[in-house]
Amino acid sequence: MRRSYLKEGEVQLTALNSLLTQSRYLFLFSDLLLVAKQKAENSYKLKEKVRLDRLWIASNNCPHSFVIGWPICNYIAHFPSEEKKAEWHDILEERIQKCRLRAIPKFTTLPLITMKKKLSISQTSSEILLQLIGELGLSRDLELDLAFDNGGGDEPTVLQGPETVYCIIMDFIRSTGYRLSEKQLERLDTFPLVNCKLVLLSSNLQKSNAAQTLVTHFKRVLSRNEPRRFFGRQLDGSCPPQPVLTMMDHLLANGVHTEGLFRKSPKQTTVRMVKAQLNRGSVPDFTQFSPHVTAAILKEYLRSIPGKLLQTCDLNMWIAAIESDGPERIAQIKGFLQLLPSSHIVLLSSLLRLLRAVAKSPSSKMNAQSLAVCIAPNLLDSPKMECAARRLPQIAEWLITNAPLLFDDFVDAHCDISSSASNDSGLSDVEVGVEAPLSSEFTETYIISTPASSVPSVNSSPVVRCKIEELKVSPSSYCSSNLSTDDEMDITPEIERDDDRTPVLSQENSDVEKKPVAYIEWKSAKRFGVNKLSDNANFF
C-alpha cells in the first residue's frame, strides 16, 4: 500500500506520568504519525515515529484535548480550538481502525497470573480490567490496577486505562528481536522465550513503605541472571567480551568516515533495543544499524565498567604524569598501564586504534581533541574537582596521540593524526627520545586486525630515535564508508525491515548513515499545498 500524506499541525503534549508539557508538531500519514520538534520555520527534529496500528486515543471530556498514547506512554494532546481537536480526533480514530484491520494477527494470548486470556487488537487496559473483575467474581469496590510485566525482572508498569494492550505486547516482541510466525504471535503463552504477562495489583499495595520497597529492590537484584548481564560487569580473563571486539571491528570497517562519530547521538529507542539484546546474551548484527548506534553502545559499555578502563590510579597521578617532561612522562604512563589487567590492556589498545583511525579520516571531522572530549569521561573515574572537566580530555588526547609509543605491536597507519594545536601532546617537531621495540624487519603494510588476535603489552624495549610530524587536515564534505568483500554483502544499515521510506527530519536524530544526498526541506502544507509538500520531501 502506498503511503500518503494526510495532515499536519501544532500540538502541546502533557505527559501523564510527569505532567511536563512540550510543544510538538505532528505529521500524519495514512499509516504513520511523526512527532517532531519545530526548530525553525521549515526545520523539524524527529522525536517519535509511531505506526498507527500501535497508537491509541481516548476522550477525556475536555473540549480542547484528548488522550493519545503509544507503547508505553500516555499524553494529553492540547489543540488551539475545539475544531482542531475534533478534526484530529476523528481522522486519527478513522485511520487507527483501518490500520488495525490490516494487522496480522488480530489477537494474541497471554498468561494472566493463573489464567490465560485472549486479547483483541482494540481492547484497552480499562476494558480488560473490567472483564477480569467480572470473570473472577471480584467486588467492584476493590481498588485494582492492571499492570504489564515484561518478564525481565523490572517492576511491572501500571496501566492507566486508555492503553491498547495488544499494541504494547507487539511492540515489546519487536524490541526483543524474535522473529515469530503468525501462529506463534497468536499463542504467546506457548512460546517459552516470551515471559511477558498482565498482573492484577491492588492500589493499596503500591503505597508500601520505604522498607518494603528496599526489600523488593534487593530481591530483584539478587534474582537477576548474572551470567547474561553484559553491562556493568568486571573485565575477566585475558580479553574483553567478544561483542565489544565485534563492535570495534565493525566501526573500523564501516564507521571511521562517518561524520561526528562518538559525538552525535542516535535515536535512544534503537540504543535501548540493542542494549537489551546484549544483556540477554545475544550479539546483534551491527551492520543493520547506523555507526552512531554502535558508537553509543560502546561508550555506554565503557562507562559501565566498574572502576572504569583506567582504574590503576586517581586523577591527580595522571595529571602529574601528563605535566612531566617527555621521556619521564612516557615512562610514568607505561608504569600505570603495566598495572592494568590484560583484558583492560587489550580493550584500551583496540579503542585507541579505533580512535586514531577516526581522527585520521577527514570525513569524520573529529580530531584527537574532539574525540577526547567525547570519550574521556568513560575512561577514568572523575572526582568532584574543578579541573576534572578540563584535565580528563587532555589525558585522553595524549593517549590517542601517543598510543604507538605505549604498546608493543601497535598497528597503525604511518601518518600522524589530527590533534589540537593548543594542547601540548608531549612531543615537539624536533627529535626526542622515545621507547619503541627494536626489530630486524620493518613492514609498511597497514593492517586492521581483530583486537582479540593478540594481547598487546606495554612497550619496554630500548630507546630509539623517531620523529613525529603533525598531519594537516583539510575540510571535506560528507562521504560514506564502503566495505567490499568477496561475497558482496549488502550492509546498508536499517532499523526495521518494514520498507519504511519516511524522510529523516533531523540528521542528528537519524539512525541512517550519512551519504551525499540532496538536502530535504519540509514545507508547510498551508503555504504550498499537499502536492508541493509531497514532491519537495520525496516521501515515496
Question: Which CATH number characterizes residue 327's domain?
Answer: 1.10.555.10
The whole model's pTM is what?
0.41
480 within some domain: no
Asked whether residue 67 is assigned to any structural domain, the reply reads yes
> Which residues, including other chains, have CB under 8 Å from residue 203's CB and lie 6 or more apart?
143, 144, 145
Does residue 511 belong to any structural domain of this protein? no
Let me know whether 118 and 56 are in one domain.
Answer: no
CATH number at residue 42: 2.30.29.30
Contact (CB, 8 A) for 497 and 445: no
Same domain? 415 vs 452: yes
136 inside domain: yes
DSSP H/E element including 420: none
How many of the other CB atoms lie within 10 Å of CB of 465? 9
Regarding whether 120 and 135 lie in a shared domain, the answer is yes
Q: Which residue segment(s) compose the domain that 201 sits in?
A: 107-222
In a domain, 171, yes or no: yes
Asked if the structure places residue 497 within a domain, the reply is no
Q: Which of 101, 131, 150 is the last residue of a domain?
A: 101
**279 and 193 both lie in a single domain:** no
- Do 81 and 198 lie in one domain? The reply is no
Residue after which a domain boundary falls, among 69, 101, 133: 101
Question: Going residue by residue through the chain (540 aa), what tens digit of pLDDT does each one get?
Answer: 689 999 999 999 999 888 888 999 999 999 999 999 998 888 999 999 999 999 999 988 888 999 999 988 899 999 999 999 999 999 999 999 999 998 888 888 776 655 677 888 888 888 888 888 887 777 777 778 888 887 766 778 888 888 888 888 888 888 776 777 888 888 887 776 677 888 877 765 554 444 454 455 444 444 444 445 788 888 877 788 888 988 998 999 889 999 999 999 999 989 999 988 898 888 888 888 999 999 999 999 999 888 788 875 567 778 888 888 777 888 888 888 877 888 888 899 999 999 999 999 999 999 999 999 999 888 887 666 566 677 888 889 999 998 888 887 787 744 444 444 333 323 333 333 333 333 333 333 333 334 433 445 555 444 333 444 444 443 433 333 333 334 434 433 444 444 444 444 444 444 444 444 444 444 444 444 444 444 444 443
Answer yes or no: do 140 and 66 share one domain: no
Q: Taking a C-beta distance cutoff of 8 angstroms, is the pair 403, 412 a contact? A: yes
Give the three-state DSSP class for 1: coil
In a domain, 229, yes or no: no
Cα radius of gyration (the chain): 27
Residues 60 and 156 in one domain: no
The answer on 218 and 117 residing in a single domain is yes
User: Do 283 and 297 reside in the same domain of the chain?
Assistant: yes
Question: Are the CB atoms for 436 and 485 separated by under 8 Å?
Answer: no
